[in-house]
C-alpha cells in the first residue's frame, strides 16, 4: 500500500496558507493503530473531504483535529499552532455531527445561543450573532420552535448554525448528511456548498459517500486501513487513481490483473486466461513480465451487436445481467476468456440489451489505467 507524503516545513515552522496540518500522526487504541503516520495539509478556505470505508480511520482523524482525541505521536497544527494537547474547547474549530446533537428541551434560538452564553457574551452580542446565523441557514421563521418540531433537514441547518455562530476558523463535518433521505441529502449538498462559498472558511468533511465527496470537495483524501492512499482533486481521484484500492473504491471500475510487455509505442497486458490488452505506457518504468492491475471504468467500455471498426481491445462476450437505472443501463458481460466486465451505457433508444445476447465489448488503449501492485 502506498502512503501519500507531503513536503512540509521543519518542526517549529508553519505554512501561512494552511489552516490545518497533520504531521506523522499516529493514534493507537489498545496496541492497535487506528491512524498510521498520516500527513495532511489543508489549505485556508477549501472544502476538504476525508473519504473511506467504515473502519479506515477517517472519523478518528477528524476527532484528532477537533481535539476529542489526542495523537499517540505526531503533530496536529491549526492556523500555525500545535494543538496536539490543546483541549477541544480552546481550538478555533466547531463540529457538526450526523446525529445533530441538539438540545430537545431548548428552542432553536436557545440551541444556537448556548455556546455564546457559555462564553459570557453580552445579550446584544448573542442576539446579533444568533440572528446572523439563522439568516445564513434560512431558519429565521423557526427560531421559537423546538428541534422535535423540525424535519431532518431543518435540524441539520440548526446544527450548522450552532457551529457557525462561534465563528470558527475551521468547520468540521462528521457524516453531516448521513441521516437524511436521498432527495433531501441532494438538496442539503447544494446548500452546504453555497454556505461554504458564502463564508469562505475551511470545511473538513468526513464521509463514506463517494458521490458526496466528489460533488462538494475542492480536494479529497482517500483513506484505507489507517493510512492515506491518495490526496487530490475530485477529477484526479476519479480519473487518475494512484492505487488499485482508490480505483476500486471511487466509483465503479473493472480491475484486470496481468503481466506487462513493452511494445514499440504501447504496452501489452496478458492475463492468466490469455486475454491480451493494449494500454498506453504508464508513468512508471515497464519491466517485461512485471504484474500490474489495469483499471477500466464501466462508462469507457462500448458494446456492439456487430463487429465494430475498432480492432484494438475488442473482445467477444455474452451479456449475463442487465439492470435498468433510468439514465443508464448497467450490464454485466462475460468474455469468452472468462473475465467479467461491468459496462455502463447511456439510456438511448434501442440501447437496452437482454441477457444471453452475444456482444462485442471494446475500448481504447488510453482508457486503460495501469496501476502498480503494492
Mean pLDDT for 23-36 is 95
For the chain, the structural domain boundaries read: 18-92+168-246, 252-372
pLDDT tens digits along 268-303? 999 999 999 999 988 888 888 889 999 999 999 999
Cell of 68: 476529542
pLDDT at 131: 93
**Which CATH number among 3.55.50.30, 3.20.20.70, 3.40.50.620, 3.40.50.300 corresponds to the domain 18-92+168-246?**
3.40.50.300
Query: Taking 80 as the threshold, does the pLDDT of residue 374 lie above it?
Result: no
pLDDT at 6: 42
pLDDT at 102: 85
- Per DSSP, the residues of 335-366 read ETTS-EEEEEEE--TT----TT-EEEEE--GG
pLDDT at 187: 83
- Per DSSP, the residues of 143-198 read TTS-GGGS-HHHHHHHHHHHHHTT--SEEEEESTTTTS-HHHHHHHHHHHHHHHHH
The pair phi, psi for residue 64, each rounded to 5°, is: -65, -40
pLDDT classification of 14: cutoffs 50, 70, 90: low
pLDDT at 181: 79
**What CATH fold (topology level) applies to the domain 252-372?**
OB fold (Dihydrolipoamide Acetyltransferase, E2P) (2.40.50)
pLDDT classification of 342: cutoffs 50, 70, 90: very high
pLDDT tens digits along 103-160? 888 999 999 998 888 888 899 999 999 999 898 888 999 999 998 898 888 888 888 8
pLDDT at 16: 65
Task: Give the three-state DSSP class for 64.
Answer: helix
Query: Taking 80 as the threshold, does the pLDDT of residue 7 lie above it?
Result: no
Lowest mean pLDDT: which of 106-110, 175-179, 192-196, 368-372? 175-179
pTM equals: 0.85
Cα 178 to Cα 181: distance, rounded to the nearest angstrom: 8
Order across the sheet with 314-324: list the strands. Answer: 302-304, 358-362, 314-324, 328-335, 340-346
pLDDT classification of 183: cutoffs 50, 70, 90: confident
pLDDT at 13: 53
Amino acid at each position: 500500500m502506498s502512503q501519500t507524503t507531503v513536503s512540509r516545513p521543519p518542526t517549529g515552522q508553519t505554512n501561512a496558507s494552511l489552516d490545518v496540518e497533520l504531521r506523522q500522526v499516529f493514534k493507537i487504541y489498545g496496541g492497535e493503530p487506528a491512524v498510521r503516520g498520516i500527513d495532511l495539509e489543508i489549505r485556508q478556505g477549501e472544502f476538504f473531504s476525508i473519504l473511506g470505508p467504515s473502519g479506515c480511520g477517517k472519523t478518528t482523524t477528524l476527532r484528532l483535529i477537533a481535539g476529542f482525541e489526542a495523537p499517540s505521536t505526531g503533530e496536529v497544527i491549526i492556523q500555525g499552532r500545535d494543538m496536539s494537547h490543546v483541549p477541544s474547547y480552546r481550538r478555533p474549530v466547531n463540529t457538526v455531527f450526523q446525529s445533530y446533537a441538539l438540545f430537545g428541551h431548548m428552542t432553536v434560538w436557545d440551541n444556537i445561543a448556548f455556546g455564546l452564553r457559555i462564553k459570557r457574551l453580552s445579550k446584544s452580542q448573542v442576539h446579533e450573532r444568533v440572528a446572523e446565523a439563522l439568516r445564513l441557514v434560512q431558519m429565521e421563521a423557526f427560531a421559537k420552535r423546538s428541534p422535535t418540531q423540525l424535519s431532518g433537514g431543518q435540524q441539520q441547518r440548526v446544527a450548522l448554525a450552532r457551529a457557525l455562530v462561534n465563528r470558527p476558523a475551521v468547520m468540521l463535518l462528521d457524516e453531516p448528511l448521513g441521516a437524511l433521505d436521498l432527495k433531501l441529502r441532494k438538496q442539503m449538498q447544494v446548500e452546504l456548498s453555497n454556505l461554504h462559498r458564502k463564508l469562505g472558511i475551511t470545511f473538513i468533511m468526513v464521509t463514506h459517500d463517494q458521490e458526496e465527496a466528489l460533488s462538494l470537495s475542492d480536494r479529497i483524501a482517500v483513506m484505507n486501513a489507517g493510512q492515506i492512499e491518495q490526496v487530490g482533486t475530485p477529477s484526479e481521484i476519479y480519473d487518475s487513481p494512484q492505487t488499485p484500492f482508490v480505483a476500486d473504491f471511487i466509483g465503479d471500475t473493472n480491475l484486470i490483473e496481468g503481466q506487462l510487455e513493452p511494445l514499440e509505442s504501447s504496452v501489452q497486458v496478458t492475463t492468466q486466461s490469455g486475454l491480451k490488452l493494449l494500454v498506453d505506457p504508464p508513468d512508471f518504468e515497464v519491466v517485461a513480465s512485471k504484474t500490474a492491475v489495469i483499471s477500466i471504468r464501466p462508462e469507457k467500455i462500448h458494446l456492439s451487436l456487430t463487429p465494430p471498426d475498432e480492432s484494438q481491445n475488442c473482445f467477444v462476450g455474452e451479456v449475463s445481467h442487465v439492470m435498468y437505472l433510468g439514465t443508464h443501463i448497467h450490464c454485466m458481460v462475460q468474455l469468452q476468456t472468462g473475465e467479467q466486465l461491468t459496462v455502463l451505457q447511456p439510456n438511448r433508444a434501442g440501447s437496452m440489451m437482454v441477457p444471453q445476447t452475444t456482444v462485442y465489448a471494446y475500448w481504447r488503449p488510453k482508457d486503460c489505467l495501469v496501476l502498480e501492485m503494492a
